[in-house]
Amino acid sequence: MKIFKKLNRQMGMTIVQVTHDHDVALHGQKIFHILDGEIDRVDVIESGGAIR
């Protein structure tokens, strides 16, 4: 995860990670929930891991 965060912060790269692991998803800035092939909802991750 460190390398992805470094690439995002220092180089401005967007990282798309697909996972079913909620704890892994919390390392990102947003969680896109997909249902039947469409975006169902988007959760924004606040610093500290809280979902908004």
pLDDT digits (tens, 9 = 90+) for 1-52: 889 989 999 999 999 999 999 999 998 999 999 999 999 999 999 877 778 7
* pLDDT in the model for residue 36: 98
pLDDT computed for residue 38 by the predictor: 97
DSSP E strand stretches across the chain: 30-35, 38-44
What was the pLDDT predicted at 34? 96
pTM across the whole model: 0.77
| b (16+ CB within 10 A) / e for 20-47 | eeeeebebbeeeeeeeeeeeeeeeebee
Residue 45, pLDDT score: 93
